[in-house]
Structure 1
Amino acid sequence: MALPLMPKATAVWLIDNTKLTFDQIAFFCGLHPLEVKGIADGEVAIGIVGQDPVASSQLTAAEIARCEANPAANLKLLAPTVPLARQKTKGARYTPLSKRQDRPDAIAWLLKYHPEVGDAQVQKLLGTTKATIDSVRSRTHWNAPNIKPRDPVSLGICSQSELDRVLLLAAKRRDSKEKREARERERAGIEAPPAAAAAAGAVPLDEIDGDED
């Protein structure tokens, strides 16, 4: 099934501007209903600007009204009249000159909303450098006063699928790290001798309460 351009941004707009059900929006945007609910609750797609599918000729207002009146109906994507996207080419990412001035905003968005994404991933996704990332992070960038966190997809620097892939990988790495650290803490607790607290001169809570009285 064909999906709209920028599915999550489209879902954001449909949630904010229509009475469609989560299931209808999920079906049209190729998302899970729980993911759509997360967007509505502000837990998913934080910072993503809504994309109007009517303005981009992917839906008609009449089609939205039809599905609002019938929760069992599904939205039908309009056939595109122009190519929707260029094929991705191999090699280093090239960012058009007109978009390069927006990269600091995209970097700021990732640093603010997705700190789990490593600098190397940000470099590859946005076609930027470690020095630029560091300058945005430390607010020493030459244009720091004017930098505002903006979604790189809405800026046209990367596609939604590319961003989703990076976020998914970063989330998996973060979860793996947290589980590893939890195991290490648990192992350290198990290996600690039972008499460790007494040897350290631990004082029972009832004695502490008595001193305070």
Structure 2
Amino acid sequence: MSKLLHPKATAVWLVDNTTLTFKQIGDFTGFHELEIQGIADGDVAVGVKGFDPIANNQLVQAEIDRAENDPLYKMKLKHNPAARDEDKRRGPRYTPLSKRQDRPNAILWLVKFHPELSDGQISKLVGTTKPTIQSIRERTHWNIQNMQPIDPVALGLCKQSELDAAVAKAAKSANAMTDDERRKLVSTEQSLDMDTEPRLPSNMEGLETFSLSDPRDEDDKKDEDYSDADSFFNLPGSSDDEDDQPR
């Protein structure tokens, strides 16, 4: 997609050399119509030399003529085949000077809340270098004590869609749990309500059927009759004669 070169200088030229409305010039150059009015009044862009969009192959005279005859018409930038895919970034993102002081805070936020992101992904998101990221990961950065984690989207260093795409890519490469798999997990309340099967400790396994008595004795006890209460006081195998013998 082609982009307008020197939009403010182009706006100055259009104000000086055409009868276009302020809104038409603002729509074409990307400024508010009040700013264009300020240019016409001499309050804005003082000392800026006009940039001819026709001579620089960005606009054709036919577009200007049509717009001058129709105040509602929006001029279109001349198509430039050489400008194809110029929006695609190559290398680290450029960070304005006014936001570079916030970049370490954004890196700290990404390292803390998205550790799955690689150094290369963080570098492309906020426009930094891998040694800087590594120093923040290892907390050896010279200003680490004064840094606070701040969302890079809130700082304007990247878009939310770019951050989401990077996180999704990192999660996929790491075989992390997907959102659908997380939904299938049982909550804590549900797991507490489930019936649990009693289990013996690992050091007691195999002893659940252990008994000190002889199985044959168990069979003999089944045949004995304890309907008489006095029989409980008689030891097995004892006789009345033994009880009567003097001791």
Q: TM-score band (shorter)?
A: 0.3 to 0.5
With the length of structure 2 as denominator, give the TM-score of the two structures. Answer: 0.36
Q: Which has the higher contact order (CA 8 A, sep 6+)?
A: 1
